[in-house]
Amino acid sequence: MNDKTQAAEIIRSGKAILGMELGSTRIKAVLIAPDNSSLSSGGHGWENSLIDGIWTYTLDEVWRGIASCFAELCSNVEKEYGVELTDFAVGGFSAMMHGYLVFDKNDELLTPFRTWRNNITEKSSEELTRILSYPIPQRWSIAHLYQSILNGESHVSEISYITTLAGYVHWKLSGEKVLGIGDASGMFPIDVNALDFDKERIEKFNTNIAGKGFPWKLQDILPGVLSAETAPGTLSAGKLTQEGALLLDPQGKLKAGIPLCPPEGDAGTGMVATNSVRVRTGNVSAGTSVFAMLVMEKEPKEVHSEIDLITTPVGKLVGMAHSNNCTSDYDAWISLFGQAAKALGAEVSTPVLYDTLLELALKAEPDAGGLLSYGYISGEHMTGFSEGRPLFVRQPDANFTIENFIRAQLFTSLCALRTGLDVLTEKEGVVVDEIRGHGGFFKTAHVGQRIMAAATKTPVSLLETAGEGGAWGMALLAAFSIRDNRGLSLPDFLDEALKGSVGEAFRPIPEDVDGFNAFLKQYHRGLPIEAAAVKALQ
């Protein structure tokens, strides 16, 4: 949308489309036009807190962050187009998946929000995987619920509703207790034929806890499930209520009654933003955490605890390899180098700092010169850690250069991911011809592509909109929900919406692949060092 006058009229007349995503470190809002071009954006930075051993955000922080993000979007719209944002055609809200948000019959939060980052449900995960014959990762909502039961936590008997962060935000904005099927698939297993929670496995769960005497059945406390293409039965994603409009815009300028599409998780919005929703397509979302998602042709032959089975926003089965830790530790190192530069009198902007330092990784030795690092800010289920300790270690005679150091930081951020991908590709024979990437890992695009291609042994392409990430994907889902042609599938809609925006794929360089493989072997051999650090640094 190059014509500012036309864009201003679209915004003024309420025809723009809003997507917002609550990520781990940033809340992002994107406003797009009916032709799916970007109009404006806004953001708000935030961080989770470790309180009593639990990674959490308060609900007050959620609403302060959402309001701040929307306010910045409104401010940017007014600066760019000279109009107020008081209405839009449709909106959609997404957030980091999984976690544990439970409420009583009075809609009061029963226990602090337990985010996906908490690896505190190992026993629950193992037992449920056996009981349900389905891989139940520690992050999943049902794992947190069952662990609370195993722990004998008193709040469990008072639960009236359990949801995700996206589901919570949508509920408070619309009054509807529903969830997009992709986000729902990170709570409890999905029946991909019924496009709903798996009823047989719900009954298995209910039977297993029957002796506890809880006043609820699992199906009574779960949200309703909606596919992006169809809304089964009478379920509706709803509209923005007056109370919801005030939560989004405390200034009171935003109109109520705006339609909302089903809320989704960050995995689903990542698939959409990269147009990776067809069978045999794949994408990787790399930021605070990193996950690769391959849309599968069939269910796996075995249950693999390393692999999540989730769905696309229309219910196609996806094998996901997920790592809790990706860029956080190397972000901290780059920040430290920036502080060092400032102490020496150099003022370097953040983009220049990142581009300059990350570029050095391409001049390093292929295996990072024998340097070893673990960016475990939190636990890492893929390698069996419930807690993390960021760690850098080297042999005294290792080639300790800045180039090798940066390459080691980039390599280690993808080692846990590769561990899971090997299960999909080597044990299950899943094939993908190209991976599309998005997220902060690709801000210095050619560096991110090259390192990711080495780690995944697969060509990696980026979309021009990759930097917009999940908020962009959520805006596209919102646009899809009001499409003129209701018979149009989501993959076909995205083909048109993202036409010409996919860049050329970067093919893996053999010496990079060999270097990463060598680093990966040392990474696995060195895991006892990380375990010792966790034990020693309490």
3.40.605.10, 3.40.50.300, 3.30.420.40, 3.30.479.30: which CATH number matches 328-462+508-536? Answer: 3.30.420.40
- Given the structure tokens 């076909």, which residue do they identify? 492
Burial 306-322 (b: 16+ CB within 10 A, else e): bbbbbbbbbbbbbbbbb
Q: Which residue has the higher pLDDT, 490 or 467?
A: 490
Segment 317-375, tens digit of pLDDT: 999 898 989 999 999 999 999 999 999 999 999 999 999 999 999 999 999 999 999 99
d(CA 468, CA 269): 11
CA angle 450, 455, 461 (to 5 degrees): 45
CA distances from 127 to 26, 123, 164, 343 (A): 34, 6, 22, 52
Query: Which residue carries 């990711």 as its tokens?
Result: 452
Retrieve residue 11's tokens. 């915004």
Residue 467's pLDDT band (cuts 50, 70, 90): low
Rounded to whole angstroms, the Cα distance separating 315 from 232 reads 12
Task: Give me the chain's average pLDDT, please.
Answer: 94
What does the DSSP 8-state code read for residue 293?
A: E
Q: Are 283 and 292 in contact (CB under 8 A)?
A: yes
What single-letter amino acid sits at 487? G
Indicate whether 305 pLDDT > 90: no
Predicted confidence at residue 502, as pLDDT, reads: 80
Three-state secondary-structure class, residue 321: strand
Q: Which two tokens stand for residue 38?
A: 């970007």
**Two structure tokens written together for 196:** 């709903």
Model confidence pLDDT, tens digit, residues 316-333: 999 989 898 999 999 999
Longest dimension (CA), the chain: 67
CA distance 337 to 354: 10
CB 416 within 8 A of CB 374: no
> So what's the pLDDT on residue 48?
95
Phi, psi (deg, nearest 5) at residue 19:
-130, 135
Other Cβ atoms less than 10 A from the Cβ of 359: the count is 14
Whether residue 54 contacts residue 117, with contact meaning beta carbons closer than 8 Å, is answered with no
State both tokens at 505: 């794929």
Instruction: Give the model confidence (pLDDT) of 191-241 as tens digits.
Output: 999 999 999 999 999 999 999 999 999 999 999 999 999 754 556 799 999
Tell me the C-alpha to C-alpha distance, in Å, between residue 155 and each of 34, 105, 124, 160, 220: 46, 12, 17, 10, 16
Pick from 91, 440, 480, 433: which is nearest to 313 by CA?
Answer: 480
The answer on pLDDT for 520 being more than 70 is yes
Cut 0.75: pTM above it? yes
Helix (H) or strand (E) holding 437, with range, is strand 435-438
Residue 269: what pLDDT? 93
Terminal alpha carbon distance of the chain: 54
Of 82-91, 187-196, 436-445, the one with minimum mean pLDDT is 436-445
DSSP 179: E
Check residue 261 and report its DSSP letter. P
Task: Give the integer Cα–Cα distance in Å for 237 and 263.
Answer: 8
Tell me, rounded to whole angstroms, the distance of Cα 175 from its chain centroid. 24
In this prediction, residue 122 has a pLDDT band, given cuts at 50, 70 and 90, of: very high
Mean pLDDT confidence for 85-91: 97
Token digits for 478? 């919102």
For residues 239 and 227, give the distance between their C-alpha atoms in angstroms, rounded to a whole number: 17
* Confidence label for 438 from pLDDT (cuts 50, 70 and 90): confident
Average of per-residue pLDDT across 273-292 = 88
Q: Extract the runs of DSSP E, i.e. beta strands, from 204-281.
A: 224-226, 264-265
DSSP H stretches of helix in 82-211 = 122-132, 141-150, 165-174, 181-184, 199-208
Between CA 137 and CA 464, with CA 311 as vertex, the angle to 5 degrees is 110
For 14-57, the pLDDT digits (tens) are 999 999 999 999 999 999 999 999 999 999 999 999 999 999 99
Instruction: Note the pLDDT tens digit of each residue in 382-424.
Output: 899 989 999 999 999 999 999 999 999 999 999 999 999 999 9
Q: What is the DSSP letter of 368?
A: G
Are 428 and 391 a contacting pair, CB within 8 Å? Answer: no
Determine the angle formed by the axes of helices 266-273 and 469-481, rounding to 10 degrees: 80
Domain boundaries, the chain: 328-462+508-536
With H, G, I as helix, E, B as strand and everything else as coil, classify residue 356: helix
- The whole-angstrom separation of Cα 311 and Cα 308 is 10
